[in-house]
Amino acid sequence: MEVMAKPQYKGKRYRLAKPELLAPAGNLEKLKFAVHYGADAVYIGGQKYGLRSNADNFSFEEMREGVEFANRYGAKVFVATNIYAHNEDIEGIEAYLKKLEEVGIAAIIAADPAIIEVAKRAAPKLEVHLSTQQSTLNWQAVKFWKDEGLPRVVLGRETSLEEIAAIKEHVDIEIEAFIHGAMCSSFSGRCVLSNHFTDRDSNRGGCCQSCRWKYDLFEDGRSEESWVSEESMMEQAPPALSPFKPGLTQIPLFQPEDNPFTMGSKDLCMLEHIPDLIEAGIDSFKIEGRMKSIHYVATVVNVYRQAIDSYMADPEGYVLKPEWVEEINKAANRPLNTGFFYDTPDHEDHIYEPEEKAVPYDFAGLVMEYDDSTGTAIIQQRNHFKPGDEIEFFGPEGTFFKQKVGSLEDESGAPLDAARHPLQLVRMKVEQPLKNFDMMRKRKG
The CATH homologous superfamily for domain 20-187+264-351 is Copper homeostasis (CutC) domain (3.20.20.380)
CA distance 212 to 184: 10
Domain ranges of the chain: 20-187+264-351, 216-259, 361-443
Mean pLDDT of the 213-229 span: 59
pLDDT at 354 exceeding the cut of 80:
no
Residue with the bigger pLDDT between 191 and 44: it is 44
Q: Give the list of residues 6+ apart from residue 7 with CB closer than 8 angstroms, or none.
A: 342, 343
pTM score of the predicted model: 0.85
Whether 20-187+264-351 and 361-443 share one fold: the answer is no
Please say whether the beta carbons of 106 and 77 come within 8 A: yes
Superfamily of domain 361-443: Translation factors (2.40.30.10)
pLDDT for the residue 239: 45
Least confident range from 55-59, 274-278, 360-364, 402-406: namely 55-59
Confidence class for position 216, pLDDT limits 50, 70, 90: confident
* Nearest Cα residue to 249 out of 233, 260, 266, 265: 233
pLDDT in tens, 416-444: 999 999 999 999 999 999 999 999 999 88
Give the residue among 319, 315, 350 at the shortest CA–CA distance from 334. 350
| C-alpha span between 331 and 361 (Å, rounded) | 7
DSSP string, 55-81: S--B-HHHHHHHHHHHHHTT-EEEEEE
pLDDT at site 1: 46
Please enumerate in sequence order all residues whose Cβ is within 8 A of that of 418, keeping only pairs 6 or more positions apart, or say none.
384, 385, 386, 387, 408
Q: What is the mean pLDDT of residues 385-401?
A: 95
Angle 276-281-287 (CA atoms, 0-180°, nearest 5)?
75
Q: What is the pLDDT of residue 83?
A: 86
Q: How many helices (H) and strands (E) does the chain have?
A: 12, 22
**Amino acid 193: pLDDT:** 77
Query: At 107, is the pLDDT very low, low, confident or very high (cuts 50, 70, 90)?
Result: very high
Distance CA 180, CA 310 (A): 18
